[in-house]
Structures are given as C-alpha cells and as structure tokens.
Amino acid sequence: MKIKVTEKDALIVVDMQKDFMPGGSLPVPEGDSIVSVLNEYISIFEGKNLPVFFTRDWHPPNHISFKGHGGIWPPHCVQETEGAKFHSELKIPVDNKFIISKGTSPDFDAYSGFQGTVLENLLRERGIKRVFVGGVATDYCVKNTVIGALNLGFAVVVLSDAVKGVDVKPGDSERALESMLLMGAVIAELKDLTI
Ligand code: VGL
Ligand code: ZN
C-alpha cells in the first residue's frame, strides 16, 4: 500500500538508546539492526522539513521500574549515563527535531512517549494529524506510544521494518503489532512511502 508523506505528518523514533542495544543493560535482540532504515525514514522527514521526535527513557538511578526498587527491569537509561545516549549512528537532525524524555521521576514509569511529556502539545502546535512510529521495544514503548497516539486521535503508521521487540514471552512483539492494528494503526514499510 502506498502512503504519501504530507505536511501533517511527523516521525517518532522511540528509545533508540545504547542500553536497549546489544551490549546494553536491557538489550533488545538485534535492536541495532534497524538503525540504518530508521536513518532513511529520518532523511525523508528531514528532507520535507517535517518534525522528527526522538523519545528516550531518562530514569533516575532509583527508578521504580528497576529491580530492587519495585520493578522488573535491570537498571537502564539512567540520566546522564553512557547507556542513556542514543545509538551513535542514529542520524539526529540539527533542525526541527525534538528530544522527549520520559520516566524521569523516581515513582512513575512511562512506556508511552505521551505520558508525562509535552509530545502531544508539540504535535498539535504544528498541526500534525498523523505520526509514523519506529524504534524499540515493539512490545513495550513502541506499542504504548502507538496506542497513546491513537487514543489522542492521531492517525498512526507503524514502521514494521524499523521496530524490534524484547519478546520476554515469545510472540509478544507479534501480539503487540496485532493489538496496534486492532486499535486502528496502519502498518507500513519503507517501500510503501512516497515522497
Ligand atoms: C522500555 C522496558 C523498560 C522500552 C523501557 O523502551 O520499550 N522497555 N523501559
Ligand atoms: Zn525504562
């Protein structure tokens, strides 16, 4: 299916941080394999001067999602640490890009880029009606960001060649994609986009 990228579209790149990449503290298997296709999407949006949003997990050291602090995850994406940095090959535009930090307070977690952030406002201010979403993890932050966007009334295109999941239980990523579809998201890949 062909999808034309228009001036009401934005790109959201979810949590492409070192701790979520192989070798990081909470690795998504093959998480780094989507960097090059994400860079292609980024250059399409940048080329049309459309906004690109990069969400990041940005946790304090005592975050509630961490083992030992009430959560299930190993410590990851701790503010100002190496593991919280974006993958070094991710091509972050100089202009018209926004970094959205989430999960920044000790007592709240945020799997959605809309939770406790200004992402919705930034999109609305710019007249954005549809978001294209890629990144990690399909079964956590991508899924919740997509559902968050749908619930706020945005149309959503999930970029199936630019997402990777953790699959704590086998099939979690596949089920996550199905639930995004059921809620109204469209699934597309690079070859479907026309500029
Ligand atoms: C995520 C687990 C814990 C994600 C964040 O970015 O999908 N997963 N924190
Ligand atoms: Zn987290």
- Per-residue model confidence as pLDDT tens digits over 58-113: 999 999 999 999 999 999 999 999 999 999 999 999 999 999 999 999 999 999 99
Of ligand 1's atoms, which has the minimum distance to the CA of residue 140?
A: 7
| Residues lining ligand 1, Cβ inside 6 A | 15, 20, 57, 65, 73, 136-137, 140-141
Comparing CA positions, the residue from 117, 122, 184 lying closest to residue 151 is 184
Q: Is 153 exposed, middle or buried (0-12, 13-18, 19+ CB in 10 A)?
A: exposed
Compute the average pLDDT of residues 33-61: 98
CATH of the domain at 31: 3.40.50.850
pLDDT band at 195 (very low <50, low <70, confident <90, very high): confident
Q: Would you give the DSSP letter of residue 87?
A: P
Q: What domain count does the chain have? A: 1
Per-residue pLDDT tens over the stretch 3-32: 999 999 999 999 999 999 999 999 999 999
126, 118 Cβ separation under 8 angstroms: no
CA–centroid distance, residue 141 to ligand 1 (Å): 5
Q: Would you give the DSSP letter of residue 95?
A: S
pLDDT at 1: 78
pLDDT at 171: 98
Q: Is 45 exposed, middle or buried (0-12, 13-18, 19+ CB in 10 A)?
A: buried
Compute the average pLDDT of residues 106-122: 97
Q: Whose CA is nearest to atom 8 of ligand 1?
A: 140
Comparing CA positions, the residue from 158, 14, 28, 12 lying closest to residue 86 is 14
Range of the domain at 136: 3-194
Indicate if the pLDDT at residue 118 is higher than 90: yes
- Which residues of 124-177 form beta strands (DSSP E)? 130-136, 155-164
pLDDT at 101: 98
Compute the average pLDDT of residues 103-128: 98
Indicate if the pLDDT at residue 166 is higher than 90: yes
Residues whose CB falls within 8 Å of the CB of residue 182, separated by 6 or more in sequence, listed in order: none
Average model confidence (pLDDT) across the chain = 98
CA–centroid distance, residue 22 to ligand 1 (Å): 14
CA–centroid distance, residue 36 to ligand 2 (Å): 23
Residues whose CB falls within 8 Å of the CB of residue 98, separated by 6 or more in sequence, listed in order: 51, 52, 53, 54, 119, 122
pLDDT at 15: 98
Q: Which residues are catalytic?
A: 15, 102, 141
Q: How far from chain centre, in Å, is Cα 158?
A: 10
Compute the average pLDDT of residues 137-144: 98
